Amino acid sequence: MEDQMRLRAIVRGRVQGVNFRYATRREAQRLLLTGWVRNRLDGAVEVVAEGTRAQLERLLDFLHSGPPMAHVTGVEATWQPATGEFTAFEIRG
């Protein structure tokens, strides 16, 4: 698991009801990442993903724009060591 990282991102804006979670899962799967994405009660979308720093940077680039109907106004990203607890990338909640 060396050079594996964990990205946790909170994406704000018009990000619910615009297929954001599905598009994020598709992008994460394309990048061979593991983790999850979910809607939050405050209207944001939360993402936790694990993979290489380069893979995660590409996912973070995607999160700054999202799918066509989304309007992202901000992304808060934090980096941590990977735990290896995920086996796939899924949509939660």
**In 3D, which of 45, 34, 43 has the Cα closest to residue 7?**
34
The residue ranges of every structural domain in the chain are: 4-79
What architecture is the 4-79 domain classified under in CATH? 2-Layer Sandwich (3.30)
pTM assigned to the model: 0.95
39 is known as an active-site residue: yes
pLDDT at 82: 97
> Which of 21, 25, 30, 58 is flagged as catalytic?
21
19 is known as an active-site residue: no
Lookup: tokens for 49: 């993903």
Contact between 4 and 55 under an 8 Å Cβ cutoff? The reply is: no
> Which of 14, 39, 40, 58 is flagged as catalytic?
39
pLDDT at 5: 97
Q: Give the model confidence (pLDDT) of 52-61 as tens digits.
A: 999 999 999 9
pLDDT at 78: 98
